[in-house]
Amino acid sequence: MFIKKSFTYTLILLFFVICITACFSIKIPFLKKETKIEKNIFLKKYCLAIFENRSSFTKQKYLKTFYEKLALDINQNLKNAYLVSEESSDFTIIKNIPRNLSKGTVDNQALAQMGREMGLNSIITGEIIEIKTFSAKKGFIGFRKIRPGFSWKVKLSIYDCETGFKTFFEDVEQKSFVDDKQFYKQYLESNKSTKFQLLIQRSFEQMALTCASMLTKSLNKELWKSYIIRKTSDLFEIPCGSSSNIQVGNTFNVIEKLDNIVSEGQEYIIPGEIIGKVEVVEVFKDSCKAKKISGENIENSSCVIR
**How does pLDDT run across 234-276, given as a tens digit for each residue?**
899 999 999 999 999 999 999 998 778 887 778 888 898 999 9
Residues 281 and 184 in one domain: no
Asked if residue 158 and residue 84 are part of one domain, the reply reads yes
Which residue range forms the structural domain that includes residue 18?
2-35
pLDDT in tens, 142-165: 667 778 889 999 999 999 999 999
Same domain? 22 vs 128: no
pLDDT at 278 over 50: yes
Phi, psi at 241, each rounded to 5°: -135, -145
Are 77 and 133 within one domain?
A: yes
What residues have CB less than 8 Å from 82, skipping those under 6 apart?
Answer: 43, 44, 45, 46, 75
Q: Domain check: are 287 and 157 in the same one? A: no
98 half-sphere exposure, CB direction, 13 A CA radius:
13
Domain co-membership, 127 together with 242: no
* Global confidence as pTM: 0.81
Average pLDDT over residues 159-182: 90
Tens of pLDDT, residue by residue over 193-234, are: 888 888 899 899 999 999 999 999 999 999 999 999 998 888
Phi, psi of 179 (to 5 degrees): -110, -5
Residues 6+ apart with CB under 8 A from 48: 67, 70, 71, 74, 83, 91, 92, 93, 94, 123, 124, 125
Do 155 and 31 share a domain, yes or no?
no
- Among 188, 204, 219, give the residue marking a domain's end: 219
Query: 188 and 210: one domain?
Result: yes
* Count of the separate structural domains present in the chain: 3
pLDDT digits (tens, 9 = 90+) for 42-77: 999 999 999 999 999 999 999 999 999 999 999 999
What are the residue ranges of helices labelled H in 26-134? 29-35, 60-77, 108-118
